[in-house]
Structure 1
Amino acid sequence: MDLPLSKRVQEIAASPTLAITAKAREMKQAGVDVIGLGAGEPDFNTPQNIIDAAVDSMNKGFTKYTATTGIPELKQAIIGKLQQDQDLAYKPNQIFVGTGAKHVLYCAFQAILNPGDEVIVPVPYWVTYPEQIKLAGGVPIFVETGFEADFKITAADFEKAVTSKTRAIVLNSPNNPTGMTYSKAELVAIGKVAEKHGIYVVSDEIYEKLYYGDKKELVSIASLSDALYQLTIVINGVSKAYAMTGWRIGYAAAAEPIIASMGRLADHMTSNPTANAQYGAMEAYNGEQAVPETMYQAFEERMERFYPILESIPGFKPKKPSGAFYFFIDVAEAAQMKGFADVDAFAKSLLDDAFVAVVPGSGFGMPDYIRISYATDPALFEQALNRINDFMKN
C-alpha cells in the first residue's frame, strides 16, 4: 500500500554520518572486520563522577518531570561555566536545556525563522543544519569557503551573501567536519556584519573544549559586544566535552524572548530533558575536570601522530585541524587514481573492499572530501590508515 507522507519529511535528506555508522555496525554484526571512522563521539566512557551523580539522583527520587527548560541547579552550573570560560553573563531565564544540542538547534531555528527567511550556512557544514533550517520554513544559503581559506567564511563573503531576507548565520567553531577554528579577529569582523544588518548568529560551540591552540584565541562571538550578545544564540552541551553523547543534554544561551519561545515549543514537543541526565550534566560542569582534560590531550596527541601518515597516503590532501577530532581530506585525486567516478563511490569501495568506514564529503556540501574521526582507539585508527594505504597502493 502506498501510504501518503508529508512533503516536509519526504524532502529531508538522510544523515550520511548516521547511515555510514549503521552500515559499519551491521557489517561487524555479520562478522566482517570493519573499522569505523565515521562516528562523531569520543571513544572514552563518561567520567565516573558524572555516572555516580546521575545514579545518586535516581536513588534520591529525582525521577519525575522537571521544568521544560531544565532544572534550576543545572542552569546555574551552565551560567557559571559560561561566565568562567567565555566571560558571558546570563540569567536563568536566558538558558534553555534540551534533549541534546541537536534538539536545541532545532528549537532555535523554529523560534527565529519564518517561511522564506534565509540562513547563511558556510560550506562545509554539519549535515543537520540545512535540514533543520528547511524544517523551520527557512532557506539555507550556502557560501563556499575552500581549502585555502581553511574552510572558514570571511566577513566579505558574509556581506556579499546578505539580502533583505537574511535572518541568521550559522557558525560552528571548532568546526565539524573540518576541525578548523575561527580566531578572535575573524569573529570580530564577522560580528560587525551581523550587527550592521541585525542578523542572528547561531553559534554552535559544542566542540569548544576540544581546541588545541592558544586558549586566548578561543572566544564566543557573543562576548564581543553588547549587540552581539543580544543577537547570538550560543549552542553547547556535554556530549563531546564530557563523553556524554548518549545522555542527550545540550543547551542554548540567548536573549530571554528567544529562550521563552524555545521553551514554549518544547512544552509541546519533548517536555523536559531526562531528569537523571540533567543531574549528571550538572556534575560535569561543577565536578572534577581531570578526566576531560586527559581526553582533550589524547585527541591532540592522536592528531599530531596521525596527520603526517595521512599526508603520505597517495592522493590524500588533508588539512591540519585545530580542534574537534576530525580529519577532513580532499581525496578527489585518490578517487581518480583508483578509477572511481566520484568520492562517494571511492568511500563505498573503502568500506566494501578495505573494510574501513569513512563519511563522504557530499553530506557536508563538499563532494571531493571525506571525513574521518580519530575519536577511535589509536591502534585501530593506525590499522585503518594502513588498510587505506594498502588500498591505494594495490
Structure 2
Amino acid sequence: MKKKLISAVLLSTVVLTSASTVLLVSADDTDSQIAQQDAKIAATKSAEATAQAQVDTIQSQVDALKDKQDKLKKESDALLAQSKKLQVKIADLTKEISDRDEALQAQARSAQTDGTATSYVDAVINSKSLSDAVTRVTAMRTVVKANDDMMKQQEAAKKAVEKAQKDNQEKADKGYKLMNEISDQAKSLETQQAELKVAQLNLAAERATAEGTKASLLAQKAAAQAAAAQAAAREKAYNEQVAASASKAQAQASSATSSSSSSSSSSSSSVSTPVVTTPSTPAVTTPSTPAVTTPSTPAVTTPSTPAATAPSYNNSGNTYPVGQCTWGAKTLAPWAGNYWGNGGQWASSAAAAGFRTGYTPQVGAIAVWQGGYGHVAVVVAVNGSQIQVQEANYAGNPAIGNYRGWFSPGAVTYIYPN
C-alpha cells in the first residue's frame, strides 16, 4: 500500500512539475521572441529615421531648384519683353532710314534732272567774291555731309539695336534652356522623394507589424506565466493533500498491526478490510475528485471494478499544443497518432489509421466526445456505465488530472489500442 501511495505521489508530482516546466520554458521562448521583435523594431525605427533624413534633404533640394527656376523665368520673361521693345525701336529706325534715303535719292535726282548742279556753278559765278563762293559751296557740302552722317548714325543705331536684341534673345533662350534642365532635375528629385516616401511607409508598416507581434507575444507570455503560477499552486495543494492522505494511511496500517497482535483470528479479517476496500483508495491519484470517496459507489470494492490506475506519461514526439486535451491524450496514450486533428476528429482519424473503435468503455482506451471541437480523455477505471478518466484542458485546466471522478460519459466513441 505504501509503495502504491508513494508511486502515485511521485507520478503526480512529476506530472504537475512537468506541466509547470513546460509553461516556464514556453515563457522563456516567448521572451526570446520578444527580444527579437524589440531588435527588429529598433532597426526599423533607425531605417525610418535615415529615410526621413533623405526625404528632407531631397525636399530642400527640390525647393531650392524651384526657387532658382522661378528666378530664371522672371529674368527670361524680362529679357523677352526688352527684346520686343527693341524690335519696335528697330522698326522705327528702319523706317526713318528708309524715309531719309528716299529723300536724299529724290534730292540727287532733282539736282541731276532740274539742272540744280548748273545753278551751283551759276551761284559761284554770281558770287560777289571768292569768299562768298567758297561759303556757298561749303554750305552745300555741309548739308550733304549732314545728311550722310545722319544716314550713318541711323545705320549704326540700327545695328546696335539688332545686336542688343540678338544678345537678349540668346540670354532668354539660355535662361529657358536652364529652366527646363532645372525642371527635369526637379522631376527626378520628386520621383526619388516619392520612392523614399514609399520605402518609409513600408518601414512604418513593418514596424507596426513587429510591434503588434510583440504585443501578442507579451500577452502569450503573461498567459504562460499565469498558467505556470496556477500549476505551481495546484502542485502545492496536491502535495499537501497527498501528504495528509499518506499520514492517514500509515495510521490505519499501524492500527491494523496492533489489532493483529492481540487477536490472530480477527487479524486476518481486519487486514482485508482497510484501505483496499475503502472507496477512498482512488483519491490517492485523484485528489480533486471527491466522488471517489463517497460511499455511494460500493462497486469499487468488487474485484470486477478495480481502482483507477494512473497511466504512464510520455510526452516525446507529441505534436499537439501543450495544455490542450489532444496533448494530454497523446501524453497518456503514446500509441495515439499525431496530426489527428481536433478532439472530435480523433475517432475517424484513428479508424483510418487502422485502430479499432467502439462504444464499450475499456481501461486504456481513448474516449472521444464529438460535439463542436470535441474532447478526448484516457479511461483509467470502469464501473458498469460509469468511468474515470485522466484528461487535460477540462474546465480550463491545462495540466493532466482526474477532475471528474466517477461519471456517466454519455454518447462517447472509444479508440482501443492495438
Query: Which bin holds the TM-score, normalised by the shorter protein?
Result: under 0.3
Task: Tell me the TM-score normalized by structure 2.
Answer: 0.23
Larger helix proportion, structure 1 or 2? 2
Of the two structures, which has the highest relative contact order with CA contacts closer than 8 Å and spacing of 6 or more? 1
Task: Tell me the TM-score normalized by structure 1.
Answer: 0.24
Larger strand proportion, structure 1 or 2? 1
Structure with bigger gyration radius = 2
